[in-house]
Structure formats: structure tokens, C-alpha cells
Amino acid sequence: MQMNAGSATAFYLCCMLSNTTNKNNQINPLNSNYLFLQWFVFFQVAFLNTDETAPTSKSQFWLLQVKKAYRQKALTCHPDKNPDNPRAAEVFHQLSQALAVLTDAAARAAYDRVRKAKKQAAERTQKLDEKRKKVKLDLEAREREAQTRESEEEEIRITRTLEQEIIRLREEGSRQLEEQQRLIQEQIRLEREQHVQGRQESNGAEGKITPKLKLKWKCGKEDETRGGYSKDVLLQILQKYGDVLNLLISSRKTGSAVVEFATVKAAEMAVKNEVGLINNPLKISWLEGQPRNNPSSVLSDSTSQPRTSQASVVSERDYESLVMMRLRQAAERQQLIEQLKQEDEEGSHT
């Protein structure tokens, strides 16, 4: 197969373009054809489209620009102007070849096709990169949405759990309050019955033996605070039940004391009701003067109904004071529970 001069030149240009680039489509500056392509690019001082559809006037104008650039460059690259440069002849020869290629229509068309193919490849790469970027952004958006949805669900679960816990505490508080009230009423009833049955015997015993109670609590030998129970603290705890005649704290046995009440009634109420400090409760037991229940006292009380009724009124007032104190404490506990619930609800809204 034979090729004319234009086809051969175009083929030569395509070979140079392929040999001048590496596998990454980048120009290899060590290739000898790279200098030729530098001239080729240099001549495109006023590059216009040179395909078959280009207007003749534009093509001619472009050729004039190339030839003008060639003449200007040839004056500086001619071997006669560069006698000390051993490569001057080679450079001038390549410059002449570049002029021949650029002035050949087939060579220019081949170069246009190569340039157009590279441009289209770059556009495809850009579109692919944009598509990949969009896919990545969509994926990240879905991940953020999933994380947000998971966080909202977790917050809902936490809020629901908190609400259930508040309801449980409220119900338990109500049950505890009802239980405390029931126990107090039951205790009042029992104490009233025991008081009515043993009042005559208790009054007789008060004139002979004063009631004494033994107190115990946890206390280390080296504890200077005596487990939180000083004489003033014990008096403050016990005097609300009645007059305290004597209070003796043992110096040899830590965490031990003896208290003497003025009345059996006061001692009974202290034994049945007092628990001491919450973090170090008291253990109270009878030491002397404990009353004994006597069935015969019921009969004697029934024969002296006016006196017994009058004494019961006095004792009931004391019991009512104690009941009111316990009810007030229970109400304070319930109020504290409601306050904690309100604070939790305000915290969940914020």
C-alpha cells in the first residue's frame, strides 16, 4: 500500500504523538521527539480549527501565522547563529519538520483528531469523577441521615424509659405513703388498747420504779464523734417523747448508754418509735420498769369508766401529735419525689 506525502506526514505525526507519551498519557521529556512537539505547539500562535468544514479564510490566516512564527524562530535557531551549539542543526531540522507538518492539511487533521480524542477522554474522566463524587456525597448523606435517625430513636427510648421510671417512683411513693399511714393507724390502735389495759398498773409502777432503757449503736473505739451520738444529740432525740430524768453514756463500752424517763408512757413510745440517726440507727431495749399486760386491769378500768376516759383523752392527744409528725414526714417524702419528677421532666425537655 502506498501513501502520499500528506498521509505519510500525518502517520509520522501520530507515531510521534504516541511515542512521546507514556502509559499514563503524560509526555516523556527524555524522548527525542519531545523537542519536535515543542515546536509543533509553539507554532499554534493563532490556532484555528483545520478540519474540512473550516472556512478557507481562517485556514489561510492560520497558515500565515505559523509561517510568521517559523521565520521568527528560525532566525534564532539557525546553525549559523549558533556555532557553539552542537545540536543547533538538529533543532533547526526539527523546526523545519514542524513547519512541514503544520502546513500539511492531512497532518493537521491527524493532529486535530488526536487532540479531540484526548479532550473527549478528559471530559469522560471528568464526568466519571463527578458521578463518583455525587455517589460519594449521596452515600455520606444517607449515612448522616441514618445516624440522625438512630440518635432520635435512642433519645426517644431514653425519654420513654425516664417517663416509666418516674411513673414507677410515683406509684411506689404513693404505695409507701399509704403503707406508712396504715402502719401508723395500726400502731395507734394497738398502743391505745395497750394503754387502756395497762394504765392502772402503769400508774402504780410509776410511783415505785422509773423506766430505764438501754441504748446501743455502732461506734469505733477511736471514733471521737461516738458514732454521731453525743449527749446533746441523744437528749434531743429522746426528749420529744417525754421528760428525761437521767442519761448516762458508758465510758468503758463504746456505743452504749442508759436513759431514765419520767414516765412509762414516754419510755414505751421511745422503744416502739425511735430509730435514731439514719446512717447509724439506735437499738433500744428495756432495762428496768417495763410494764406487764394484766387482763384484770381491763375489768378495773371498766369499773372506773369516767377516769379512764379522761386519761385516754390525754394520751390520745400525745399519740395524735406523734401521728401528725409521721404523716408530715411521709408528706415531705412524697413532695420530694414529686419535686425530683418535675426536675427530671424539665431536664428531658431541655
What CATH number corresponds to the domain at position 96? 1.10.287
Whole-number Å distance between alpha carbons of 124 and 327: 85
Q: Please state the domain count of the chain.
A: 2
Concatenated DSSP letters of 313-348: HHHHHHHHHHHHHHHHHHHHHHHHHHHHHHHHHHHH
Domain boundary among 103, 133, 159: 103
Write out pLDDT tens, residues 99-151: 877 777 777 777 678 778 888 988 988 988 888 888 988 899 989 999 888 88
Q: Does residue 180 register a pLDDT over 90?
A: no
Mean pLDDT for the chain overall:
73
Write out pLDDT tens, residues 12-40: 444 444 444 444 444 343 344 444 555 55
Question: Is residue 149 situated within a structural domain?
Answer: no
Question: Is residue 279 situated within a structural domain?
Answer: yes
The stretch 274-292 carries a mean pLDDT of 89
Query: Which pLDDT band holds residue 201 (cuts at 50, 70, 90)?
Result: low
Residues in a beta bridge with 21? 27
Domain boundary among 103, 138, 172: 103
Whole-number Å distance between alpha carbons of 43 and 68: 9
Percent of the chain with pLDDT over 90: 14
Q: What is the domain-level CATH number for residue 218?
A: 3.30.70.330
Range of the domain at 238: 210-288
Question: Is residue 130 situated within a structural domain?
Answer: no
Q: What is the grid cell recorded at 14?
A: 501520530
Domain boundary among 103, 132, 159: 103
Q: What confidence score (pLDDT) does residue 37 get?
A: 54
Task: State phi, psi for 177 to the nearest 5 degrees.
Answer: -65, -45
The stretch 58-87 carries a mean pLDDT of 82
Identity of the residue numbered 86:
P
Q: From edge to edge, which strands make up the β-sheet containing 283-288? A: 244-249, 256-261, 212-216, 283-288
Query: Which pLDDT band holds residue 7 (cuts at 50, 70, 90)?
Result: very low
Query: Which pLDDT band holds residue 305 (cuts at 50, 70, 90)?
Result: very low
Task: Note the pTM of the prediction, 2 decimals.
Answer: 0.29
Contact predicate 20/3, CB 8 Å? no
Q: What confidence score (pLDDT) does residue 16 get?
A: 46
